[in-house]
């Protein structure tokens, strides 16, 4: 399950008039911890400014994230599921937050509805808000290839030589 962190960065950029302007940007990062999310922000962000700083990192509780090829803006939807408690027989509400990218609020609502159409339990989308998120960085498993130092060899080669010598 993904753990999402909202990272805010700040840097200064020169505008057309030649004066420095402070820019604040917000990104969403899938990471294991606050430390990893900060490291991934420094890795991913290319602002054109050589010196930017991460001003805050907060955990964002998301049940799901729906990403589409098109759609510049990120919307946060509040979706309420209705379920029946088996012991008491009472109906209870479960609140979940979901993120979707779209060009407008109508398209965002349409995409949430489309993504949840296979749900078997009743739900209701109660809120849809535009977020300041500029980009989302999901976790990608990168295979790290470690280079073997020049003075060392793989164990398989050493073992093969020993067997050949015997």
Distances (CA, A) of 149 to 2, 12, 26, 99, 153: 35, 41, 40, 45, 8
Residues 69 and 50 in one domain: no
Residues 13 and 49 in one domain: yes
Q: Is residue 164 part of a domain?
A: no
Q: What H or E segment, with its residue span, contains residue 80?
A: strand 73-84
Specify whether 79 is located in the same domain as 124.
yes
102 and 40 share one domain:
no
Residue 71 DSSP code: -
164 three-state secondary structure: helix
Q: Which strand ranges, in their side-by-side order, compose the sheet holding 133-137? A: 52-60, 4-14, 20-30, 133-137
Query: Is 144 part of any domain?
Result: no
The per-residue pLDDT for 91 is 83
Is 6 part of any domain? Answer: yes
Are residues 4 and 52 located together in one domain of the fold?
Answer: yes
The model's pLDDT over 65-119, given as tens digits with 9 standing for 90+, comes to 999 988 899 999 999 988 887 888 888 889 999 999 999 999 999 999 999 988 8
Q: What residue numbers bound the domain in which 54 lies?
A: 1-60
Whether residue 81 is found in the same domain as residue 40: no
Give pLDDT tens digits for 31-41: 999 999 888 88
Structural domain count of the chain: 2
Q: What is the CATH number of the domain that holds 40?
A: 3.10.20
Express each pLDDT in 40-70 by its tens digit: 888 887 655 567 888 899 999 999 999 998 8
Both 33 and 75 in one domain: the answer is no
44 domain residue, yes or no = yes
For residue 144, pLDDT over 80 is answered with: no
Q: What is the pLDDT of residue 165?
A: 86
Residues 69 and 119 grouped into a single domain: yes
């Amino acid at each position: 399950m993904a753990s999402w962190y909202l990272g805010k960065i700040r840097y200064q950029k020169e505008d057309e008039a030649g004066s420095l302007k402070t820019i604040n940007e917000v990104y969403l990062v899938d990471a294991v911890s606050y430390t990893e999310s900060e490291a991934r922000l420094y890795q991913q962000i290319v602002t054109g400014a050589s010196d930017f700083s991460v001003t805050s990192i907060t955990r964002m509780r998301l049940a799901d994230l729906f990403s589409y090829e098109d759609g510049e803006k990120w919307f946060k939807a509040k979706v309420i599921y209705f379920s029946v408690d088996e012991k008491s027989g009472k109906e209870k509400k479960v609140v979940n937050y979901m993120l979707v990218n779209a060009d407008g609020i109508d398209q965002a609502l349409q995409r949430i509805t489309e993504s949840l159409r296979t749900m078997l339990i009743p739900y209701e989308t109660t809120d849809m808000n535009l977020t300041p998120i500029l980009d989302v960085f999901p976790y990608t498993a990168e295979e790290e290839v470690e280079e073997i130092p020049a003075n060392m060899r793989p164990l398989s080669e050493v073992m093969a030589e020993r067997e050949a010598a015997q």
